[in-house]
Structure 1
Amino acid sequence: MKTVKDYMSSTVDYCTTLDNVFEVAVKMKDLDVGIIPILEDNRLVGVITDRDIVVRGVAEKHPGSTKVTDIMSSDLYTADPDMSIEEAAHMMAEQQIKRLPVVKDEKLVGIIALRDIAVHDETKSQAGFALSEISETQGNNMN
C-alpha cells in the first residue's frame, strides 16, 4: 500500500511567526509554490496559502508588513507520513483543500498536494475524486 511519505515533498521551506506577509509572498514567488507552512519553535502552527494573502492580507487588511499570524490558517488538517494515499485524498476532498502538511511527532516533515497524487498512474483516481469534490463544492459556493 502506498502512503503519503511515498508522494510528499519532503524538502519544505517555511516561515516563522516572526515573519511578515511580504516575506511569505516573496518566498512563494521564488519557490513557485502556493503554500508556506508557519513554524514556531519548529512546530507547525499554521499555513499561509496564496489565497490567504489575497483574501485576508490584501482585501481585508493592509498588505506588506502584516504579521503572518494575522492572516495564517491555524485550524489545520494534517497528514501522517504513514497515512494511505486514499485517506489523504479523502481528507482533501472532505475538507476542500488541495495541499496537506505532513507532520510526524509534531514536526513538519513534508507537504502533499493533489498534483503529487495526480502524477502517478496508480493514484490518479484518488486525485480525480478529491479534485472533483473540491471543484463541485467551490462551484456551488459561487452561486
Structure 2
Amino acid sequence: MTTLTDIMTSELTTVDRGATLKEVALLMREQDIGNVLIMDGDALVGIITDRDIVIRAVAYGHDLGSEASDYATGNVFSMDASTDVAAAASEMAGRQLRRLPVTRDGRVVGIVSLADLATRARTGVDEQALQGISQPTT
C-alpha cells in the first residue's frame, strides 16, 4: 500500500500567523512555490496560495503589509501520513482540494499536491478522482 508518507513533500515552507502578504509573496518567489502554511506554534491555522494573494488582496487594492492569515484558507483539512494514497485522492476530489497537509501525531509533517498524486502515485489512484479535483462543482 502506498501511503501519503511515500509521496509527500516534507520540506515545508511555513510562516508565523503574523507574517505579511509581502513576506509570504517574497518567500514564494525565493523558493519558487505557490503555497505557504501559516502556523501558530506547531498548529496549522491556514494555507495561503499565490492565487489567494492576487484574488483576495491585490485585486482589491489591499495593503501588502496586511497579515497573510487574513487572506488564507482557515480550518485546513489534513490527513494522517499513514493514509492510503487512493483514499487521499478520493477525499481531495470530494473536497476539491489541490493541496493536502499531511500530519503525524497531530503535527504537520508534509504536504501532498495534485501534482504529487499525478506523478508519484501511479498505483491505486483513480485517474477520474484526480481529474475531479480541478472540475467545477455543479
What TM-score do you get using the length of structure 1 for normalisation? 0.87
Aligned partners of 1:37 and 1:46 also within 8 Å: yes
Could you say which residue in structure 2 is the equivalent of 1:90? Answer: 90
Q: Which runs of 5+ in 2 are unaligned?
A: none
Could you say which residue in structure 2 is the equivalent of 1:51? Answer: 51
Aligned partners of 2:118 and 2:130 also within 8 Å: no
* Aligned-pair identity (%): 36
Q: How big is the alpha-carbon RMSD for the aligned residues of Structure 1 and Structure 2?
A: 1.8
Question: Which AA in structure 2 matches 1:75?
Answer: N
The structure whose residues are more often helix, as a share, is: 1
Aligned partners of 2:48 and 2:69 also within 8 Å: no
**Structure 1 residues 123, 82: closer, same or farther in 2, change over 3 A?**
same
Instruction: Work out the number of aligned pairs and report it.
Output: 138
Aligned partners of 2:79 and 2:100 also within 8 Å: yes
Q: Distance in 1 between matches of 2:46 and 2:134?
A: 24
**Structure 1 residues 121, 109: closer, same or farther in 2, change over 3 A?**
closer
Per-residue displacement from partner, 1:64-88 (whole Å, max 9, x unpaired)? 1010121111121112100110111
- Runs of 4+ that moved beyond 3 A: 123-126
What TM-score do you get using the length of structure 2 for normalisation? 0.89
Could you say which residue in structure 2 is the equivalent of 1:101? Answer: 101
Residue 114 (structure 2) pairs with residue 130 (structure 1): no
